């Protein structure tokens, strides 16, 4: 799938594709360049393992456990966004993680990554996709709402909101 962001037409467009083992260096550079605000908003409960084993696991995930897509400028060794779906043991439920590099945000890349992730999840028979979004991350809450996720009310004292979308009828 090729996505052409009008402002980046000169860069030849953005490709959405599965992550691959050769992405190790680009993945580390992508993570290293994330601003503190973007890191905070991710609300990731899992910290990335940057050891060689961790990089291998992140760039060559076991397809029974994880589905991982990246957005990459065509022909460049760079990643501008990463979307993952961490699958439960039965493969029917998955938790999504999504982050777009600061300089690429608000250009439609996150939307395309999440759409592609949901499409691939449905193709693989995943029934439910869920995630945790910081209650203060209004942009992301609006973003997932528009994609058909139900946003549960923020529980007392909780900082993140559970969002869920059912893919099967
Ligand atoms: C949230 C995120 C993944 C969205 O990706 P993106 O490529 O920036 O989003 P898109 O350009 O596809 O925007 C889609 C819509 O999301 C909403 N949105 C995204 N970021 C927003 C922000 N900072 N403020 C308000 N709305 C925002 C808007 O509705 C936007 O539509 P619009 O541009 O037509 O107004 C990305 O901004 C990001 O990585 N943010 C920091 C980390 C994060 O919040 N991750 C999600 C953790 S659950």
pLDDT > 80? residue 46: no
- pLDDT-based confidence at residue 157 (cuts at 50, 70, 90): confident
- Distance between Cα 104 and ligand 1 center (Å): 10
Least confident of 4-8, 10-14, 20-24: 4-8
- Please give the domain boundaries of the chain with CATH numbers for all domains: 2-127 (3.40.630.30)
Helix (H), strand (E) at residue 169? none
2-9 long-range contacts, CB within 8 A, separation 24+: 2/74, 3/71, 3/108, 3/109, 3/112, 5/107, 5/108, 5/109, 7/107, 8/73, 8/107
pLDDT > 70? residue 22: yes
pLDDT of amino acid 44: 67
Nearest Cα to 4, choosing from 146, 166, 112, 141? 112
pLDDT of amino acid 12: 45
- Out of 105, 148, 152, 154, mutate this one to test ligand 1's pocket (max ligand atoms within 8 Å of CB): namely 105
Least confident of 36-40, 43-47, 51-55, 160-164: 43-47
Tens digits of per-residue pLDDT, 111-144?
999 999 999 999 999 999 999 999 999 999 999 9
Tens digits of per-residue pLDDT, 78-113?
999 999 999 999 999 999 999 999 999 999 999 999
Beta carbon of 161 within 6 Å of any ligand 1 atom: no
- Distance between Cα 53 and ligand 1 center (Å): 31
pLDDT of amino acid 7: 45
Token pair listed for 31: 């993570």
Which residues are CB-contacts of 83 (< 8 A; sequence separation ≥ 6)?
68, 69, 70, 96, 97, 98, 113, 114, 116, 117
pLDDT of amino acid 47: 76
């Amino acid at each position: 799938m090729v996505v052409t962001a009008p402002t980046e037409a000169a860069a030849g467009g953005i490709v959405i594709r599965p992550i691959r083992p050769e992405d190790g260096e680009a993945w580390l550079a992508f993570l290293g360049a994330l601003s503190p605000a973007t890191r905070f908003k991710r609300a990731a409960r899992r910290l990335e393992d940057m050891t060689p084993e961790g990089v291998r696991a992140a760039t060559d995930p076991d397809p029974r456990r994880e589905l991982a897509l990246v957005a990459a400028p065509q022909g460049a060794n760079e990643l501008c966004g990463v979307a993952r779906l961490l699958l439960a043991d039965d493969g029917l439920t998955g938790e999504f993680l999504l982050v777009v590099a600061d300089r690429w945000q608000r250009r439609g890349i996150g939307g395309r990554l999440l759409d592609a992730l949901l499409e691939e999840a449905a193709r693989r028979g995943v029934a439910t996709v869920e995630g945790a979004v910081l209650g203060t991350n209004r942009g992301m809450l609006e973003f997932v709402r528009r994609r058909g996720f139900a946003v549960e009310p923020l529980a007392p004292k909780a900082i993140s909101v559970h969002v869920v979308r059912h893919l099967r009828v």
